[in-house]
Amino acid sequence: MLRVAKQLREELSMLMLTEMKDPRIRMASVTEVRPSRDLHSAVVKVSALGTDAEREAVMAGLRHAEGFLRSTLGDRLENLKTIPKLHFVLDDSIAYAVRVSSMLRQLDDAPPTPPAVARPPHPSGDTGMTATPAVAWPALSDVAGEVRRIIDSSHHIVCMAHKDADADSLGSALAFAAALRAIGKAPHPVVPDPVPFTLDYLPGFDTLEKAPERIDAIFTFDCATTGRFGEKRSLLESGAHPVVNIDHHVSNTAYGSVNLIQADASATGQVVFRLLRALDLPIPPEAATNLYAALLTDTGGFRHENTTEEALRLGADLVHLGADPAWIALKSYKSRAVSTLRLEALAVATMHSELEGRLVWSAVTRGMLEEAGAAWQETDGVIDVLQSVSTMTVAVLFKELQPELTKISVRTRGDADATDLCTPFGGGGHRRAAGAEVHLPLAVAQERVLQLARDQLRAA
């Protein structure tokens, strides 16, 4: 059934882009297909941006075109004897997330929000996870007691980074694990596949586990949605363990039973430091090193706009606690493989510039990886090269992960917001850096994402 749902989603997405004349339909996205058990019908969830009238027009157009779409699907999906009747419904979640992100950006000068407490467990056993973005996050003082209770009542504690982990996510997880180990707990650092070998210099990297046998609680770091935990997602959504969600992304979906989200922090490592201090937990040198790596890399070597006075003071505090700034900088920025440089050269050679240099983009294909002898984890520096263009307002890097899966990374300057470009495709992040994984071929993803980027830049 899952295979059929995947086929229907991919083919419908392609048909909407290539066969539908209405430009509003071409910019809409199929977010989910749910076939009935007998395959006689299927619910098709569609995300469309714009006004309520424009979105309803998209849905009306799709319903009108159902016969054409089913007929074309029948020609393309020869493995299906019968094409299910298509019931198109509007998926409001992405449009809602866009509105919430816009609201949050307007709250910078608003008075502090009233205290909120961690949600109690539901009588059914549900851990309180939800996919709805929160507008007012609980303060650290409001959740610290519940976090302490979870730590005190647990021994085997999973510290989980997100898929394709960066130094902020993995460094935060390893730092928290080191603090737990120092008080006699049994932490289990976990990262979904693929293991980020480029971060093997982080203290505790050699303690990473695939599948812990015993779990009492789960702490996650630097991840806005459960979808970014790859094959580990089921651990979070099973409801079998309390989940403490620690992050600094404004787009976080509050999937934890306890959510510590601090959007003012320069890095999740900074949130972890605040939590360790609030709980009076030790910060051994290996934890300080991981937190410094998290802070250094998420501020771009203390060069990005999120480099605040508090971030710089935290860097000094972490050095005092045992972090070696020169060594961490060397490992983070000056220890790249020859294959990495070759890959960057290929990507830069195919770079495109549009709208008087305001839109800069490139792609990394699987063929480029093979030619350079590189791995996907070596693509992270390409976007940094693109955003160094002086005229750039929006930089986009496309990565051809699979024939039907493309990852996008976005960086912005000025009034442009990276989340405005990524949220419509199910992604998220920050104003200056965001990303998404699009279940479309590279060429199709490029057309959709770039068209939206052009529209946004022209409207600015």
Tens-digit pLDDT profile for residues 31-73:
788 888 888 888 888 877 667 787 788 888 888 888 888 888 8
Return the H-helix or E-strand segment holding 269. Answer: helix 268-278
Crossing angle, helix 442-459 and helix 2-18, to 10 degrees?
50
Q: How far apart are CA 162 and CA 176, in angstroms?
A: 15
For residue 92, pLDDT over 90 is answered with no
When the pLDDT of each residue in the chain is averaged and rounded to a whole number, the result is: 86
The most confident of 101-115, 401-415, 418-432, by mean pLDDT: 401-415
- Of 4-18, 114-128, 132-146, 283-297, which gets the smallest average pLDDT? 114-128
Rounded average pLDDT over 430-446: 91
Place of tokens 């800069």: 360
How far is it, in rounded angstroms, from Cα 144 to Cα 381? 36
Rounded Cα distance between 315 and 319, Å, is: 6
Segments in 265-337 forming alpha helices (H)? 268-278, 285-298, 309-320, 325-333
pLDDT band at 4 (very low <50, low <70, confident <90, very high): confident
Identify the top-confidence range among 104-108, 197-201, 287-291: 287-291
Average pLDDT rounded to a whole number, residues 227-242 = 88
pLDDT value, residue 26: 64
The pLDDT value given to residue 130 = 32
Q: What number is the average pLDDT over the span 397-415? A: 94
- Residue type at 290 in one-letter notation: N
Residues in the chain: 460
Q: Which helix (H) or strand (E) holds 100?
A: helix 93-105
Q: Provide the CA 422 distance to its chain's centre, in angstroms.
A: 10
Instruction: Single out the residue of 218, 304, 214, 212 nearest to residue 267, CA to CA.
Output: 304
pLDDT at 125: 33
Question: Strands 156-160, 41-47: parallel, antiparallel or unpaired by DSSP?
Answer: unpaired
- CATH 3.10.310.30 domain position(s) in the chain: 338-459
pLDDT band for 237, please (50, 70, 90 cuts).
Answer: confident
Predicted confidence at residue 121, as pLDDT, reads 39
Q: What is d(CA 349, CA 345) in angstroms, rounded to the nearest whole number?
A: 6
Q: How confident is the model over 152-174, as pLDDT tens digits?
A: 999 999 999 999 899 999 999 99
What is the per-residue pLDDT for 72?
87
Cis amide linkage into residue 194, ω under 30° from 0: yes
DSSP 3-state of 49: coil
103's tokens:
């609201």
- Helices 140-152 and 268-278: crossing angle in degrees, nearest 10, is 70
Predicted confidence at residue 320, as pLDDT, reads 98
Quote the CA–CA distance of 17 and 22 in Å, as a whole number: 9
- Please give the model's pTM, rounded to 2 decimal places: 0.69
Question: Which CATH superfamily groups domain 117-333?
Answer: inorganic pyrophosphatase (n-terminal core) (3.90.1640.10)
Q: Spelled out in words, what is the top-level CATH class assigned to the domain 2-91? A: alpha beta
State the CATH architecture for 338-459.
Answer: Roll (3.10)
Question: Residue 103's pLDDT is what?
Answer: 53
Beta bridge partners of 85: 41
For 169-215, what is each residue's pLDDT tens digit? 999 999 999 999 999 999 999 999 988 999 999 999 999 999 999 99
19 or 406: which leads in pLDDT? 406
For the chain, give every residue range classified as CATH 3.30.300.20: 2-91
- Confidence grade of residue 225 (pLDDT, cut at 50, 70, 90): confident
Give the per-residue pLDDT at 380. Answer: 85
Is 93 a residue whose pLDDT tops 70? no
What does the pLDDT average to over 236-257? 90
Of the two residues 97 and 407, the one the predictor is more confident about is: 407
The residues with which 445 forms a beta bridge, in sequence order, are: none
450 near 430, Cβ under 8 Å?
A: no
Please state the rounded mean pLDDT for residues 17-32: 72
pLDDT of residue 2 exceeding 80? no
C-beta separation of 162 from 223 below 8 A: yes
